[in-house]
Structure formats: C-alpha cells, structure tokens
C-alpha cells in the first residue's frame, strides 16, 4: 500500500514539509533552500543563487533532515536536497549548526582576512556569515595559499586569493552571459578560478560577476577604493541607454555618483544589469561637461548669468517662431522635459518638433510603440525571429532572455540580418542578406514556414531595420509577417524614452527631422543632442544648424555643440534629476536624483519653465515638478505627417549601419572604462570576401557615400552578407556616411 500524503488537501503536485517546526506546502521537486527562502527561514549559503544552476559545492547550507521518523545519517545540503512529503528539516539544531560552523572554519583556512582593505567590506556575505558562524580565533597556523591575479579587463578587479570557489561567476558567464569565459583550473587545494586564456572578459554583462561574488574576489574596478558602503546614499534610478529601462540603484557620496548596482525587477531586468548601464556614470564627470550658461558674442563664447542666457535664448526664439523654428529632441529625454518641449513648441507656433533623430525613412509616419508582448514573457516564446538587430549589443538583457528561452525552454530562434553577429544562442535559421533584402526574406515562404505550429511566436525588429533608408518597407513586411503567422510584433524603440516622447507629443505635425534639414529652418532648439554624432544624417544636420540660430539645452559643451550653437544652457542628466521614462513595455518608471548638478547646471524642466516664463507663454506658471506634471497630464495628441522616404544613394555596396555598443550616446562615449572595453572596437569597415576586390584586412580604404567620405581600415570577413558593408555608428570617423550605398576604394 502506498503511503498516504500528510495533508490530503494539498494539490497532487505539492508535498508537506516541516522546517524548524513550521508546516509548509511546497511543489514536488523543490529544494529545501527554496522552500525555506519562500517562508523567510534563513539558511546560510555561498554557492547557491536562485538564478543559477545548483552546484552544491560550498556545503555552507548543511541542514539536518528526518523522513518517516528516521534521521539522515549525515547533514544534507539544503540547496541540493529535494523535499519529500512529511520531511522534517532542522536548520538550527546542534547537528546543523556544528556542520555549518565546521564548513565556515574550513573556508577561512586560506582566506587572507584582509577586510580592512577589501572593497567588499561591509557588504560581504563571508563577513556576515563569519560573524554568525565563525570562531573568534583560527585553529590553523599553517601558511595560507596565494593565488596570482590576472587582469580580466577594465571593469572587474580581481583578488583571487580571496576566492572560495563557489563558482557563481563561472556559472553566470556560462549560463546567463553564454560566453564561458571563467572556469576552474587545477585540482584540490590548487583549484583556482580564472579565464582560460588570460584575456579580458568580453561579455557585455561582465559586471554581474561582481554582484554574484559572495566575497571580495571580484569587485568593481571603477569604484575600487573610492568609498565604503555605509558612506553611500542609494537612490532608485533607471538605465537610460536603451529602451529596456533597467531598474538600478545609484550610490553616491556627497553628491557624486560612484557606482550603479541592479535593482531587482523580474518584469524588466530580473537582477542583472548591462555593463553599459552599470559603468556609464563615469561620463557624468567628463571634462567637457556643460556647467555654466554660455552665449556666443562676436563668434566668441562668453560665460553668462542665467538671466543673460535665458534672455538671449528668448530673443532668438521670438525672432524665429512659427514655421521658422525647428525643435530637435534626444530620444532619452524624460517625459516631463519632453512634454514641456512640446508645450514650448506649441506656444511658439511651430509644428516642427521631433525626437526620431536616428531615423532615415519617415514615409510611413512610424513612431515608437510598446512591445506587443511584455519583455518578461518573450522568454516563454517557442519561436523568435530577430530582424535587423545586433540584439546582443542593442538590448543586452533581452538577448540574455532569448538565450534563456532557447536553453531552458527549447525556443527556436531565426535571424534575418546583414551580418552573422556573435550571439550566445544557436540560431535555428540564418538569413544573412543586405538590409534592402530583409523585407523580401520576411515575405518569403521559407521563413513563414518555419513558424508553422508555433504557439507563441515573436518577431523582434531592431535598429538596423528601423534606421535604414528603406525602413518603411521593412516595417510593413514585419507587420504582414506578424499578421500572417500570428506572431507578436516587437519593434525596439530607438531611444531610451522614445515611447514616452511619442506619447508626450514630441512628434511633427509638419516637418520631421529629415524635413527640417532638407528645408533648413532659421532657428533650432537642440535638447540633449551632441550634433556631431547623434544625427542619422550628420552632414545635412550640421549644414542646416551652421546656417541657423541655435539654442542648445546641453549636458556637454562639446566641440560640435559649440560650433553650431549660439546659446548653451547647461542641464542635468537623468542620474541628477527627478524624472520618469517609459520603457519598451509601455510602463512609466521613475528615477530619483542621486548626483548633484555640476556647477550652474539646472534640471531641464526648470530651465524650460524659466524660458517659457521669459517668453510669456501660457501654461508655464508652475513652480515645481508636480505642477509641471499636472500641466502635462494627458499628453499631447499629434497626427504625425508622413515625411520623405530614405534615399539609398549610389554605390556598389549597401551600408549595414549598426549602433556601436559603447558609442550610443554622449554619456556612454565619455565613460573611460567602457571605451577601454574589448567590445569597443575602433572605427572600421567590414567587407565580404566577394566584395573586397583585392582589399586585404588592415588596408586603409576610402568610403564614398552620398553625404561624405570616410577613411577607414578595412576588415575582410565572410560573416557580412555579399553586397553589404558593415560599419558601426557613434564614431566621428563613420558619421559622414549615413546608411545608404557606398563606394569603397583603396586609399
């Protein structure tokens, strides 16, 4: 006769377990530590992490168990022992505590105990457990072992003598990042964790090994020796370098942002953070940060008071209002600032306002829209089609979810791209074609047939497609493909707050970005833009701006801004202001000021309010951010006018323009550690061998485009589609080329 369940009222897939006398219901197959965590019963651990595979190699979580009245002969690891019906678990009896204390004593045999000089001091799991389970005096007097360090790059500092071989970092790089760059070498007491080749970590998620490390073996190299945890003030903030809107904490001391750490949100970034969001705070303190209002007088820049600068800006806008004015806004601008810019434009009588500064094809009047399937649910998809995106660099944490969908749930991922990018998932199908043929592939029977029988298909359209001169045709093909296959269409918004700015009405009822450059206006407002690098068509943009009066609300007084502007009004970046952004799920999220504003810089909403007041515009009478939000309640509905189609230009090769991972915006471009990262490749052009025509890797070539010429080193690589040439954007050297067709000749 089979044993009867302890509690017959439970579902058949649940069992009853008693932990320290507390009766709990748990799903069959659950590990003791998972059940205890859910019930809030503490069990010490080092190697266990709920996002990583179970290793059971630290043994810190040993507990005493009893099943059917019979005690287990020896302690069991709570992380690797499944619960059984009627099981009794003792986490604090003499047997369990003795085992835990003995394990900790052995772990500390070789630990250097250098807490006073360790960056992990004050937030170290080993410190915490040593206090609870350790002896005050070590019984071991033998010599401690020393492990040589290796340099694993500009982001993560190593002190591997502190390592306790929990292998969390190894499992992270293998399971989550998918790069398998760390591992255990040698045996027994000589075991040490490191890279296999002695090279820097290349994963775009490398900073997460700092978070998972329970000791001070892996620490933040940028933050190294800067402060102690108890000196820091934590403020909730957001990643603002891609549309995911990763949740994070900014840690500051005396108003200086010193580091960023992930803030757990399962619906967005889980407990991870991309390196771009973790280390970009370095750019806040760049040498060319705009710190005082500047006014150009007689061709020379002069420092001015805020009253003088606002007066000069207002004079330009009064003289050039209506259709003579264009307003250009960076797509990472907050909802509040965007709404006030839309109100400012309306008050000045202009419908020439746009934030789609990376777009090239406006013929379908497309705007950013939320994903049809929330990002957390994409990992439940059974078939995913990635269209026109180096998604690993564009949205690193969405790429990690796609890897999880494949490795844990068997999802089939198909790729339609001009380059066979290095993804950490294995593609079920690859269609490597020039960008102009992407629409053709989406309309073909082969790819549509691959989705037959799919129950949760997803199509993800990225920056290469969205910013191509024939983007409208690709978007139309993606919509048709999604409709024909039942797939959820997820177009990646081109900017951290592109969805929010579209809702706030930062869109043209008259001229779009391309129209404002094709038919130059007499004056422009630039908001948060670095004009030499942020526009899709740099040459046309600079030509139009140089011939006009320009009021620049700017975070940086860079050379390109100084060259085109007449007034520079210094404003705060997201880590320095209270603001909201809307992520690719369409969810509005809040960020709180963590760093102090540099010099005389002010929050953007304050400057806009002051300028609106100077101009005497209605609606700018509010005095605080709450008043601004109340004034903007409901957003601004705009009927976007279809603009011009992108021009392909002339030339033998089609440019596949891909945003460089660490050149996406002005802040990231100024983060020194990210610029030193191996993924930050110098400007170059990559050609298919069939198109190289005698050009060898390393040769310097001239690339002639419709708007300019660039001189670049060439790389010959078969991963690029024949008929296409791959360059990365965000570099001054590649900015003149746009994204049309080019001619490549030897320099």
Strand partners for 432 = 417
The pLDDT value recorded for residue 466 is 95
| 173 DSSP assignment | I
Instruction: Kindly tell me if the per-residue pLDDT of 227 is higher than 70.
Output: yes
pLDDT reported for residue 135? 85
pLDDT at position 509:
92
At 651 the pLDDT is 77
Q: Average pLDDT of 369-398?
A: 96
Mean pLDDT for 109-120 is: 90
The mean per-residue pLDDT over the stretch 359-364 comes to 92
Res. 2 pLDDT band, cuts 50 70 90 = very low
**Given pLDDT bands bounded at 50, 70 and 90, which one contains residue 198?**
confident
Which pLDDT band, with edges at 50, 70 and 90, does 402 fall under? very high
Region 239-249: what's the mean pLDDT? 96
pLDDT band at 228; cut points 50, 70, 90: very high
Q: Is the model's pLDDT at 350 over the cut of 50? A: yes
CA–CA separation, 49 and 208 (whole Å): 13
The helix-helix angle for 604-615 and 306-319 (nearest 10°) equals 60
Q: Which residue has the tokens 């797509």?
A: 331
At residue 137, does pLDDT exceed 90?
no
Q: Which has the higher per-residue pLDDT, 436 or 637?
A: 436
pLDDT computed for residue 471 by the predictor: 94
Mean pLDDT of the chain: 93
Separation CA 70–CA 124 (nearest Å): 37
In this prediction, what percent of the chain has a pLDDT beyond 70?
99
- Give the closest residue to 657 by CA, choosing from 698, 705, 716: 705
pLDDT(46) > 50: yes
CB 488 within 8 A of CB 458: yes
Beta-sheet pairing, 218-220 with 294-297: unpaired
Buried b (16+ CB within 10 A) or exposed e, 523-554: bbbbbbbbbbbbbbbbbbbbebbeebbbbbbb
**Strands 588-591 and 685-687, sheet pairing:** unpaired
> Which tops the pLDDT comparison, 453 or 739?
453
Distance CA(89)–CA(78), nearest Å, equals: 9
Length of the chain: 747
pLDDT for res 196? 82
Domains detected in the chain: 14-107 (3.10.20.740), 115-285 (3.30.70.20), 294-362+498-631 (3.40.50.740), 375-491 (3.40.228.10), 653-746 (2.40.40.20)
Least confident of 102-106, 481-485, 733-737: 733-737
* Whole-number pLDDT of residue 12: 86
Task: Report the pLDDT averaged over residues 70-79.
Answer: 93
Query: What pLDDT, on a 0 to 100 scale, did the predictor assign at position 641?
Result: 82
Per-residue pLDDT reduced to its tens digit, 251-264: 999 999 999 999 99
| 64 within 8 A of 92, measured Cβ to Cβ | no
pLDDT at 523: 97
User: What HEC string does 353-403 produce?
Assistant: EECCCCCCCCCCCCCCCCCCCCHHHHCCCCEEEEECCCHHHHCHHHHHHHH
Q: Please determine, for residue 431, whether its predicted confidence score (pLDDT) is greater than 80.
A: yes
Flag the least confident range among 53-67, 136-150, 351-365: 136-150
Confidence of residue 3 (pLDDT cuts 50, 70, 90): low
CA distance 581 to 591: 8
Torsion on CA atoms 738, 740, 743, 744, rounded to nearest 10: 60
Mean pLDDT of 17-26: 94
Question: Count of CB atoms within 10 A of residue 463's CB?
Answer: 24
pLDDT-wise least confident of 275-279, 368-372, 641-645? 641-645
Q: Could you tell me which residues come within 8 angstroms of residue 435 by beta carbon, excluding any fewer than 6 positions away? A: 388, 418, 464, 465, 468, 470, 474, 654, 655, 656, 724
pLDDT at position 141: 85
When pLDDT is cut at 50, 70 and 90, the band that residue 332 belongs to is very high
pLDDT at 1: 32
Q: Which residue has the higher pLDDT, 164 or 650?
A: 164
Q: Which two tokens stand for residue 414?
A: 């198909």
């Amino acid at each position: 006769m089979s044993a009867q369940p302890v509690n017959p009222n439970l579902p058949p897939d649940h069992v009853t377990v008693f932990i320290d006398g507390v009766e709990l219901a748990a799903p069959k197959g659950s590990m003791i530590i998972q059940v205890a965590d859910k019930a809030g019963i503490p069990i010490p651990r080092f190697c266990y992490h709920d996002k990583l595979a179970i290793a059971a190699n630290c043994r810190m979580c040993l507990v005493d168990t009893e099943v059917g009245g019979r005690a287990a002969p020896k302690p069991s690891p709570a992380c690797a022992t499944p619960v059984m019906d009627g099981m009794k678990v003792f986490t604090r009896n003499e047997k369990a505590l003795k085992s835990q204390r003995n394990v900790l004593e052995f772990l500390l045999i070789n630990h250097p105990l250098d807490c006073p000089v360790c960056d992990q001091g004050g937030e170290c799991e080993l410190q915490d457990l040593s206090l609870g389970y350790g002896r005050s005096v070590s019984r071991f007097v033998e010599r401690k072992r020393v492990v040589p360090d290796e340099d694993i790059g500009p982001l993560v500092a190593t002190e591997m003598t502190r390592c306790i071989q929990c292998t969390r970092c190894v499992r992270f790089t293998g399971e989550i990042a998918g790069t398998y760059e760390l591992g255990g070498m040698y045996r027994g007491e000589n075991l040490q964790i490191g890279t296999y080749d002695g090279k820097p970590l290349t994963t775009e998620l490398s900073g997460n090994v700092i978070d998972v490390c329970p000791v001070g073996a892996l620490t933040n190299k940028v933050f190294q020796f800067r402060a102690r945890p108890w000196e820091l003030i934590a403020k909730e903030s957001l990643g603002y370098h891609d549309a995911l809107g990763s949740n994070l904490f900014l840690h500051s001391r005396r108003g200086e942002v010193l580091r960023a750490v992930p803030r757990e949100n399962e619906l967005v970034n889980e407990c991870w953070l991309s390196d771009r969001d973790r280390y970009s705070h370095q750019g806040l303190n760049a040498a060319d940060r705009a710190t005082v209002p500047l006014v150009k007088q007689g061709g020379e820049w002069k420092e001015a008071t805020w009253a003088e600068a606002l007066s000069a800006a207002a004079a330009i806008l009064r003289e050039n209002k209506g259709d003579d004015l264009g307003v250009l806004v960076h797509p990472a601008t907050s909802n509040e600032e965007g709404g006030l810019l839309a109100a400012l434009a309306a008050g000045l009588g202009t419908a020439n306002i746009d934030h789609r500064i990376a777009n090239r094809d406006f013929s379908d009047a497309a705007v950013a829209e939320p994903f049809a399937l929330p990002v957390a649910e994409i990992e439940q998809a059974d078939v995913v089609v990635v269209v026109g995106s180096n998604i690993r660099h564009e949205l690193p944490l969405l790429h990690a979810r796609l890897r999880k969908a494949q490795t844990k749930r068997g999802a089939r991922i198909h790729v339609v791209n001009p380059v066979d990018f290095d993804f950490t998932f294995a593609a079920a199908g690859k269609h490597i074609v020039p960008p102009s043929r992407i629409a053709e592939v989406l309309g073909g029977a082969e790819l549509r047939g691959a989705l037959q029988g799919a129950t949760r298909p997803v199509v993800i359209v990225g920056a290469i497609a969205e910013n191509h001169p024939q983007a409208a045709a690709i978007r139309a093909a993606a919509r048709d493909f999604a409709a024909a296959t039942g797939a959820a269409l997820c177009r990646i918004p081109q900017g951290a707050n592109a969805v929010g700015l579209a809702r706030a009405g930062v869109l043209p009822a008259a001229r779009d970005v391309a129209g404002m450059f094709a038919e130059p206006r007499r004056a422009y407002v630039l908001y948060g833009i670095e004009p030499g690098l942020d526009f899709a068509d740099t040459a046309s943009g600079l030509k139009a701006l140089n011939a006009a009066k320009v009021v620049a609300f700017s975070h940086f007084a860079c050379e390109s801004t100084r060259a085109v502007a007449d007034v520079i009004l210094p404003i705060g970046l997201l880590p320095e202001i209270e603001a909201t952004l809307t992520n690719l799920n369409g969810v509005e999220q809040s960020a709180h000021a963590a760093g102090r504003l540099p010099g005389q810089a002010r929050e953007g909403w304050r400057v806009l309010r002051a300028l609106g007041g100077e101009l005497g515009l209605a609606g700018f009478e509010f005095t605080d951010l709450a008043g601004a939000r109340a004034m903007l309640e409901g957003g601004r509905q705009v009927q976007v006018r279809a603009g011009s189609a992108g021009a392909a230009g002339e030339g033998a090769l089609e440019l596949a323009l891909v945003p460089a991972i660490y050149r996406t915006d002005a802040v990231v471009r100024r983060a020194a550690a990210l610029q030193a990262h191996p993924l930050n490749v110098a400007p170059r052009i990559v050609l298919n061998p069939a198109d190289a025509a005698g050009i060898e890797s390393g040769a310097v070539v001239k690339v002639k485009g419709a708007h300019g010429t660039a001189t670049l080193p060439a790389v010959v690589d078969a991963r690029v589609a024949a008929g296409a040439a791959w360059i990365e954007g965000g570099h001054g050297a590649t900015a003149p080329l746009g994204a049309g067709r080019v001619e490549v000749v030897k320099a």
